[in-house]
Amino acid sequence: MERILHLMAEKKASDVYLSAHAPATIKINGQCVPINAQVLPPEAVMNLLIDVVPPNRIEELKETGELNMAIPMYGVGNFRLSAMRQRGTYAAVIRFISPDIPELDSLHLPNILKHLVMEKRGLILMVGATGAGKSTTLASMLDHRNKNAAGHILTIEDPIEFVFTNRKSLVNQREVGTDTQALQTGLKNALRQAPDVILIGEIRDRETMSAAIAYAQSGHLCLATLHANNSYQALNRVLSFYPVEVRPTLLGDLAAALKSVVSQRLIRTVDGGRTPAVEVMLNTKLIADLIEKSDFSGVKEAMDNSMAEGSQTFEQDLARLIIEGKIDRKEGLANADSPTNLMWRLQNDSARFNANKPQEEERPSDEPSFTDITLDVRPSGYGTTGFGKTGFGQTGFRNSGFRPSGFRDSGFQDSKLGSFADSRIGDA
């Protein structure tokens, strides 16, 4: 099992999937490929887990059919394990968490995030699908504050992913099931621990949502993740936690407490890597009024027309990425909430972008005049260029020697891990 974890770190893979009656599968830059052709027998997954999971947690998995925990590996990084029972056997998904918290600038995120995380109070919701990089972005934001402001940062996570080092701030991290019996217990005691910033790993229910709003209203900065595709869906998701009779009160509290909803998606780049596309909804007076009236459909229009610095829709950011040549048009349209809106923006923003490009100063030319004839004798293919790396997904299949057909021809046999193509997972 440790060989698989080392492999994830070496190849910068996001996930590994282990399931009976299927090969072990690894995900790199959003693409899943088998590690080799070996089909795992029913007992293989449990045998692999026993290598890295303490006996008491193995018993928990057997009794409940569920297990979520962090697996630290010194010098490699942290791994987030989610194991389950399925069809009488066991399966597991393991996510790699880099030991280093990346700088915000290296992730190519909007500059407004630096300012949001330095706010004194308010609620910041980070939303997106699973695997969209929400945890990485939040960790980078918190570490930016950690390096630039004194105070107490308290996190309640299930499980702990990125591990912080105390800089200007003191950072205390609590893991559900290890440092506190339950999420609700940790939330109830959080204010007694005098935090300036509170991070809630994920909001899944009404009680957690109410706690996050209460923290923001009581003068704390609260950050949390939520599963939603965009700001509009995030607001509806929050509303769905509450019965109809209390929603007017909830909407008033949310309008007063909310600072921003940041939505993120990872988009495949032209060089095979991935880059974030980000929507930022800032809680302006207009948007606060719309939230209080439960007019969520008006929020999207308000964002399209917003003049607030830092506010942007997905279509605005996707248009920028396409114009800058980082992603192709097809990929942008596939990830847009409104492809029609994106096409309109491309037409208008492209003209504005070209108009604002600095013009080169005209100088007398040494080139031959049009009356001269110059033959192009350069070899075929002269002058082709490539594309640089992005903050997310630094190595694509095209430039790494990696081929989706498997790992036999990918250069793995040259690594210190040995050949995975010719080894049996059961021996890991």
194 and 144 in a single domain? The answer is yes
Q: What is the pLDDT of residues 32-62, one digit of tens each?
A: 999 999 999 999 999 999 999 999 999 999 9
DSSP letters for 242-275: S-GGGHHHHHHHHHHHEEEEEEEEEEE-TTS-EE
10 and 157 in a single domain? The answer is no
Q: What is the pLDDT of residues 283-312, one digit of tens each?
A: 999 999 999 999 998 998 899 888 899 999
Token pair recorded at residue 380 = 């075929």
The predicted structure's pLDDT at residue 355:
55
Could you give the number of structural domains in the chain?
2
12 and 60 in a single domain? The answer is yes
Q: Which amino acid is at 166?
A: N
pTM for this prediction: 0.77
The predicted structure's pLDDT at residue 357:
55
The predicted structure's pLDDT at residue 246:
97
Instruction: Determine, yes or no, domain membership for 419.
Output: no
216 and 293 in a single domain? The answer is yes
27 and 112 in a single domain? The answer is no
258 and 288 in a single domain? The answer is yes
Alpha-carbon span 319 to 334, nearest angstrom: 12
The predicted structure's pLDDT at residue 352:
60
Phi-psi region of 109 (alpha: psi -120 to 50; beta: other; left: phi over 0): beta
40 and 116 in a single domain? The answer is no
The predicted structure's pLDDT at residue 123:
99
Instruction: Determine, yes or no, domain membership for 307.
Output: yes
The helix or strand, by DSSP H or E, that contains position 86, with its residue range, turns out to be strand 77-86
The predicted structure's pLDDT at residue 354:
59
Alpha-carbon span 402 to 395, nearest angstrom: 10
223 and 294 in a single domain? The answer is yes
Q: Which residues in the chain show pLDDT less than 70?
A: 350-428
Out of 281, 297, 312, a domain closes at: 312
The predicted structure's pLDDT at residue 425:
47
Instruction: Determine, yes or no, domain membership for 337.
Output: no
CATH code at position 132: 3.40.50.300
Q: Domain range spanning residue 19?
A: 2-99
Out of 66, 99, 132, a domain closes at: 99
CATH code at position 9: 3.30.450.90
Alpha-carbon span 267 to 281, nearest angstrom: 20
92 and 137 in a single domain? The answer is no
Longest dimension (CA), the chain: 86
Cα-based distances in Å from 266 to 130, 240, 335: 10, 26, 9
Cα-based distances in Å from 207 to 202, 204, 215, 216, 307: 12, 9, 12, 15, 35
